[in-house]
A = this chain, B = another copy of it.
Amino acid sequence: MPADASTSPASPPLTQRQEARRRRILHASAQLASRGGFDAVQMREVAESSQVALGTLYRYFPSKVHLLVATMQDQLEHMHGTLRKKPPTGRTAAERVAETLMRAFRALQREPHLADAMVRALTFADRSVSPEVDQVSRQTTVIILDAMGLDNPTPEQLSAVRVIEHTWHSALITWLSGRASIAQVKIDIETVCRLIDLTDPEHT
């Protein structure tokens, strides 16, 4: 897989300095987000931290939500790499998916503010961010299918995966806003993962 397989398809290639600027911006964004979540990512501060003019920041990321969704794409790639190194060990597909999601969840717990910023941006995004949000969604789908160990999912299984993603996002939100405990998120994830067995074509 080429290194930039996940970036937007037909945008003009960036010079090194531009690539460096982009990285500095994403780094500053993640850093500010880690401190204080969504609200702490202030565009003026991101611009200053990354040594870029405000107008330039807006040229790279046309809104705060775009910026945070891009930050999420970035983090997701990390996560996917990490997960690949240690694949889940569960016996059934449902177990492996639940295990994978719980592992991701634990990673998010280590940086709850960052999680807050990314997830809030993701669900708050309007139509103008659809392509980017979709990209995040596809990446998540790949991670789940990986955990299931499937290359040719049936439409039913894809539905189940979509529902799992819905649950994952929404459960994260309830956790981040303090309306659900970590234990409850775990239960919800395990509950929804049972859908996988239900849609397994070899279901006994």
Contacts and interface: CB of A to CB of B under 8 A. Distances in A.
A123 interface: yes
Nearest to A167: B166
A162 B125 CA distance: 24
Interface in A45-97: none
Give chain A's interface residue range (CB within 8 Å of chain B): 35 or more
Contacts of A173: 123
A171 interface: yes
A111 interface: no
A contact face: mostly helix, strand, loop, or mixed: helix
Interface in A133-189: 133-134, 137, 156, 159-160, 162-163, 165-167, 169-171, 173-174, 177-179, 184, 187-188
Contacts of A156: 191
A182 to B, nearest CB: 14
A102 interface: no
A13 B134 CA distance: 47
A133 B166 CA distance: 18
Contacts of A160: 191
A104 interface: no
A159 B177 contact: no
A93 to B, nearest CB: 16
Given A124-B120, A163-B188, A188-B163, A134 B179 contact: yes
Contact of A165 (B169, B170, B194): B170
Q: Nearest 8 CB-CB pairs, A to B? A: A166-B170, A166-B167, A123-B123, A159-B191, A170-B170, A163-B192, A124-B124, A127-B178
22 contacts: A120-B124, A125-B177, A130-B179, A137-B179, A159-B191, A160-B191, A162-B191, A163-B167, A163-B188, A163-B191, A165-B170, A166-B169, A166-B188, A167-B170, A167-B192, A170-B170, A191-B195, A191-B199, A192-B195, A194-B195, A194-B198, A195-B198
